[in-house]
Amino acid sequence: MKHYELVVIGGGPAGLAAAIEAKKNGIEDILVIERDKELGGILQQCIHNGFGLQMFKEELTGPEYAERYIVELGKMNIPYKIDTMVVDITADKEISYMSVAEGFVTISATAIVLAMGCRERTRGAVSISGTRPSGVYNAGMAQLLINTEGFNVGKKVIILGSGDIGLIMARRLTLEGAEVVGVLSRGGYAAGLARNVVQCLDDFNIPLMLNRTIIKINGKDRVESVVLVDMDENKQPIPGSEETVECDTVLFSVGLIPENELSEKADIHLDRKTKGPLVDDTMATDVDGIFACGNVVHVHDIVDFVSFESEKAGKNAAKYIQGIRGKSRSHVKTKAGNGIGYIVPQEIQLVHDEKIVELFTRVRHVDTDVKFVVKLGDKVIREIKKNHVTPSEMEKIVIAASALELSNEILTVEVTKEGV
Amino acid sequence: MYDVAIIGAGVIGAGIARELSRYDINVALIEKENDVSMGTTKANSAIIHAGYDALPNTNKGKFNALGNPMFDKLCEELDVPFKRIGSYVLAFSEEEVKTLEELYQRGLDNNIPGMEIVKRDELLKREPNLGDQVVAGLFAPTAGIIGPWELTIALAENAVENGVELLLNHEVLDIKKNDTFKVITNEGVIETKYLINCAGVFADEIHNMIAEKSFEIKAWKGQYYLLDKMKEPVVNSIMFQCPTDKGKGILILPTVHNNTLIGPDSEMFDDKDDVETDSDNLSFIQEKAKRTVHNLPMNQVITSFAGLRAKPSTKDFIIEEVKDVPGFFDVAGIESPGLSSAPAIAVYVADLVKAKYEDLKENIAFNPIRKAVPHFMSLSNEEKQALIAKDARYGRIVCRCEWITEGEIVESIHRKVGATTVDGVKRRVRPGMGRCQGGFCGAKVMEILSRELKKDIKTIVKDRSDSYIITGETKEVRS
């Protein structure tokens, strides 16, 4: 069985950044495994711009952002396999993959970085009744068909879900001559970034329909119409508000889920909230020597943050391989308190000489004039004021590592209203 | 000129076609859709019933009891997924236990083997997720689960391999008779000596084209939820609820592919093509199902769907040569337990045809064996290696939820009754059946279909002929 020091599963932005950073930290024997025909992951079909503002202080398209890492990988002579699918991982760090070129192969690794990304939630997951005609797409599949394959998917389109992919596809379809009847949000706000609402909807006069959803899809063979309904504040349909709207296409942009089938095969435990592996502050999972980063851990809204997180995973995997992972200086577990959706990492260990600890979190509701309160046990260790918070934007909270040293208490983050 | 033409390529029509392919005659299997298994066969509970339910002196009772034991051999010959996992009818009160006892007695009358009434304590050892109100269950070990369309595709494929001609996209518009039958379709006239009506919910309409009206078929819709595969199964066996005055109850069962199926309700509609789901019905199903299993994991739903039952006005299967039209056979009103009865019905109808001939010769070339497209991921590592060495396309995973390879998809297209649509591929080798519902692999499957069938990708459809997917190329100049 061939052995590698580090195997990175996934050649998207997360895997590329982790591999490059591991090499920079002295690891020579690396293999990146990518299932698609090229490196770059989902970025390759994201031909719009807006990537790289944090990382490169430039506005790049998805393929351009990916290209920077692919070129870097090449310069550093990091080996990779494309068109190759990992089908199994064990807790002993044996990896089985398949490809046309090599067939079915099992290898082993000293450390593994999981960077498989995420997938879209489907129509089934949001339970919409009616028929099952053609013309119903996940936004990502429509994006692939249009941007990568060069085919149009419909002429009159309704988009359910106001996440970033939904917003971006509304603009993309409009540019290809389709009529986008509207982008629906079940809640009272858009789920995507504010800049995307402006640049993708407002600039093209595409209506954003808040508190509104699809309850039924009609059409025997192809979509013929949908039934829309208004939602009350408890996200329940308001009877009598039903409206049938003709269209030939429905796009679903109803959220993303980390893709962790492989993680579960390796007996890695997942967080019920993020649906990604439980990780510590070095991006290590609860299986020794297996690290994880990017959207497989929690869904990010900006790729730059995926890259930062993955550099951390790559660097720490390198230290693990070199045997310089220290002893835990902290046993703090994090807990999402009032108003908080989740926190990554779920555990803080301080195994290296960290000065700071970064917590990534999302609030549960849109709000203004709030503060984040970070508590260790009952003791408040940090407060941060915020003018505006929304679940669509990930928040980073930095705390001093010294505050957590030798503690085994629970660290809670909660949102409170200013002045209360 | 055919000896026999069969209208309708569902599990009944395909089954009869295969039985007739044992003989030295020309058989045509006529289907209006672009694939087999497109009607009631496509969406149902996928159960092979033990057979205690139907009254003994009915066709339903007779053919179910005969059909059930035939599945082991049939599914082995045709390489179709089938598991005898047993079924329970659950009683939720002492009153309902009495109904179980009646069913038990009826089962004995129908010669159903191995039944027992199991009390709650023992039941919970076998099925730990059952609800608090469950008192007892009637266990029938011979009940099983099957892939209904896999069975039908296999039957049709084996029939075609043995000489049957499958005529897809042939919609029967009218039927005339003088010496022979002239079946008028949108694709021309088909002439045949004998004609068998297996047209599912449309069997009454076909019957009325040539014979006096004698029955009516109503389409009764049933809706279902399909849950994702889970590490721990929700139930290990088929779970019925005790039938009451209010209806038959909702069932929960594993599928042959380890998903969980919940449903169906029952509602009559005039439109025989109507397979839309309704949120009220689905909520009703969910509420009812919660009695059977507590903490039903509804967050694992990957899709919901509806299927139709062909309910006859006569209340029993209609399987006979029509008196006023000699040579014309009805096989109509095959509602539940139709799937369970299908193999027995096929043999019976083939015998009816055989009786028309003085000395019907056997087809000496008949081969009952059909191999399924290999399911790559269930092979051993050595077998995987060998298959990739033979065809490298088995090394490329296309569907990452169900781990389906390009090799499997290509083979499903090039089979005798090959896939021509995205859903046709899905029914044969399952890409798109999983949790992403084709979100990742859909475009790739279209590409493979286009390449293998040498058809423009813009003409590749999802399911029925009008379910087009692509509306044009990007950057096209609009006129």
pLDDT in tens, B8-31: 999 999 999 999 999 999 999 999
- Over residues A283-322, the pLDDT tens digits come to 999 999 999 999 999 999 999 999 999 999 999 999 999 9
B381 interaction partners in chain A (CB closer than 8 Å): 104, 106
Mean pLDDT along residues B177-196? 97
Does one domain contain both A9 and A101? Answer: yes
Can B375 be counted among the known catalytic residues?
A: no
Q: Chain B residue with minimal CA distance to A218?
A: B276
Residue B274: its pLDDT value, please?
A: 87
C-alpha pair distances (Å), B60 with each of A44, B242, B337: 57, 19, 7
Residue B299: its pLDDT value, please?
A: 87
Q: Tell me if A134 and B461 make a contact (CB, 8 A cut-off).
A: yes
Model confidence at B346: pLDDT above 70 = yes
Mean pLDDT along residues A240-246? 97
- Over residues B298-336, the pLDDT tens digits come to 988 888 999 999 999 999 999 999 999 999 999 999 999
CB B317 within 8 A of CB B334: yes
> Per the domain annotation, does B226 fall within a domain?
yes
pLDDT level of residue B297 (50, 70, 90 thresholds): very high
Minimal CA separation from A376 to chain B, in Å: 33
Q: Is B11 exposed, middle or buried (0-12, 13-18, 19+ CB in 10 A)?
A: buried
Buried b (16+ CB within 10 A) or exposed e, A160-175: bbbbbbbbbbbbbbbe
Q: Tell me if B396 and A220 make a contact (CB, 8 A cut-off).
A: no
pLDDT level of residue B478 (50, 70, 90 thresholds): low
pLDDT level of residue A121 (50, 70, 90 thresholds): confident
Model confidence at B479: pLDDT above 60 = no
Does one domain contain both B280 and B417? Answer: no
- Over residues A151-199, the pLDDT tens digits come to 999 999 999 999 999 999 999 999 999 999 999 999 888 988 889 999 9
User: Virtual CA dihedral for A8, A12, A18, A21, nearest 10 degrees?
Assistant: 120
A272 interaction partners in chain B (CB closer than 8 Å): none
Distance CA B140, CA A12 (A): 52
Model confidence at B247: pLDDT above 80 = no
Residue A419: its pLDDT value, please?
A: 62
Does one domain contain both A105 and A129? Answer: no
Count up the domains in chain A and report the number: 3
> Per the domain annotation, does B354 fall within a domain?
no
Q: Is B119 exposed, middle or buried (0-12, 13-18, 19+ CB in 10 A)?
A: exposed
Does one domain contain both B274 and B392? Answer: no
Does one domain contain both A158 and A224? Answer: yes
Of A103, A138, A154, the CB nearest to B471: A154
Buried b (16+ CB within 10 A) or exposed e, A321-344: beeebeeebbebbbebbebbebbb
**Helices A62-75, A303-321: inter-axial angle, 10-degree rounding:** 20
- What's A305's domain CATH number? 3.50.50.60
Helix (H) or strand (E) holding B383: helix B381-390
Q: Which of B49, B207, B294, B375 is catalytic?
A: B49
Does one domain contain both B139 and B226? Answer: yes
Helix (H) or strand (E) holding B188: strand B188-197
Could you write out the three-class secondary structure of chain A? CEEEEEEEECCCHHHHHHHHHHHHCCCCCEEEECCCCCCCHHHHHCCCEEECCCCCCCCEEHHHHHHHHHHHHHHCCCCEECCEEEEEECCCCEEEEEECCCEEEEEEEEEEEECCCEEECCHHHHCCEECCCECEEEHHHHHHHHHHHCEECCCEEEEECCCHHHHHHHHHHHHCCCEEEEEECCCCCCCCCHHHHHHHHHHHCCCEECCEEEEEEECCCECCEEEEEEECCCCCECCCCCEEEECCEEEECCCEEECCHHHHHCCCCECCCCCCECCECCCECCCCCEEECHHHCCCCCCHHHHHHHHHHHHHHHHHHHCCCCCCCCCCEEEEECCCEEEEECCEECCCCCCCEEEEEEEECCCEEEEEEEEEECCEEEEEEEEEEECCCCCEEEEEEHHHCCCCCCEEEEEEEECCC
CB A40 within 8 A of CB A355: no
> Per the domain annotation, does B129 fall within a domain?
yes
Residue A49: its pLDDT value, please?
A: 92
Distance CA B305, CA B463 (A): 15
B462 interaction partners in chain A (CB closer than 8 Å): 133-134
Of A99, A146, A222, the CB nearest to B468: A222
Distance CA A160, CA A153 (A): 16
> Per the domain annotation, does B366 fall within a domain?
no
Mean pLDDT along residues A27-41? 97
Does one domain contain both B137 and B226? Answer: yes
Model confidence at A123: pLDDT above 80 = no
Greatest alpha-carbon span in chain B:
73
What percent of chain B stands above pLDDT 90?
86
pLDDT level of residue A339 (50, 70, 90 thresholds): very high
Q: Tell me if A120 and B277 make a contact (CB, 8 A cut-off).
A: no
> Look-up: residue for tokens 């169906």?
B264
Chosen domain end from B288, B308, B328? B308
> Per the domain annotation, does B346 fall within a domain?
no
In angstroms, how far is the first alpha carbon of chain A from the final one? 62
Residue B132: its pLDDT value, please?
A: 95
Does one domain contain both A219 and A234? Answer: yes
pLDDT level of residue B436 (50, 70, 90 thresholds): confident
pLDDT level of residue B53 (50, 70, 90 thresholds): confident
Taking Cα atoms as reference points, which of A40, A227, A226 lies closest to residue A115? A40
Determine the distance from the C-alpha atom of residue B147 to the mean position of all C-alpha atoms in its chain, rounded to a whole number: 7
Does one domain contain both A239 and A142? Answer: yes
Model confidence at A410: pLDDT above 70 = yes
- What's B287's domain CATH number? 3.30.9.10
CB-based contact, B467 to chain A, within 8 Å: yes
Chosen domain end from A239, A254, A269? A254
Distance CA A160, CA A126 (A): 10
In this structure, which amino acid lies at residue B458? K
Distance CA A184, CA B183 (A): 50
Chosen domain end from B291, B308, B325? B308
CB B452 within 8 A of CB B413: yes
- Over residues B127-161, the pLDDT tens digits come to 999 999 999 999 999 999 999 999 999 999 999 99
Q: Chain B residue with minimal CA distance to A260?
A: B401
Taking Cα atoms as reference points, which of B253, B289, B249 lies closest to residue B266? B249
Does one domain contain both A302 and A158? Answer: no
Mean pLDDT along residues A105-115? 97
What percent of chain B stands above pLDDT 70?
99
Distance CA B479, CA B476 (A): 9
Q: Chain B residue with minimal CA distance to A42?
A: B440
CB B177 within 8 A of CB B336: no
Q: Within 13 A of A45's CA, how many CA atoms are on the CB side?
A: 21
Count up the domains in chain B and report the number: 2
Domain span holding position A342: 327-420
> Per the domain annotation, does B421 fall within a domain?
yes
Q: Number of CB pairs < 8 Å for A and B? A: 148
pLDDT level of residue B419 (50, 70, 90 thresholds): very high
Mean pLDDT along residues A381-396? 93
Chain B segment 220-239 residues within 8 A of A by beta carbon are 226, 231
Of A131, A150, A264, the CB nearest to B275: A131
User: How many other C-beta atoms can be found within 10 angstroms of the C-beta atom of residue B212?
Assistant: 10
Mean pLDDT along residues A266-293? 97
CB B239 within 8 A of CB B293: yes
Determine the distance from the C-alpha atom of residue B107 to the mean position of all C-alpha atoms in its chain, rounded to a whole number: 25
Does one domain contain both A243 and A262? Answer: no
Does one domain contain both A212 and A134? Answer: yes
> Look-up: residue for tokens 């993303």?
A256
CB B260 within 8 A of CB B251: no
Does one domain contain both A162 and A56? Answer: no
Distance CA B337, CA B276 (A): 23
Does one domain contain both B250 and B102? Answer: yes
Chosen domain end from A235, A254, A273? A254
- What's B407's domain CATH number? 1.10.10
Q: Tell me if A129 and B282 make a contact (CB, 8 A cut-off).
A: yes
Strand partners, A344: A360
Q: Tell me if B474 and A151 make a contact (CB, 8 A cut-off).
A: yes
Does one domain contain both A202 and A279? Answer: no
Domain span holding position B288: 83-143+219-308
B435 interaction partners in chain A (CB closer than 8 Å): 119, 122
Does one domain contain both B269 and B405? Answer: no
> Look-up: residue for tokens 């959220």?
A255
Does one domain contain both B126 and B255? Answer: yes
Determine the distance from the C-alpha atom of residue A237 to the mean position of all C-alpha atoms in its chain, rounded to a whole number: 29
Mean pLDDT along residues B446-450? 97
Mean pLDDT along residues A118-140? 88
List the Cα angle A9/A14/A15 in 5-degree steps. Answer: 35
**A288-292, B262-266, B410-414: range with lowest mean pLDDT:** B262-266
Does one domain contain both A163 and A241? Answer: yes
Chosen domain end from A325, A351, A381? A325
Does one domain contain both A59 and A87? Answer: yes
C-alpha pair distances (Å), B295 with each of B130, B132, B233, B235: 9, 11, 13, 12
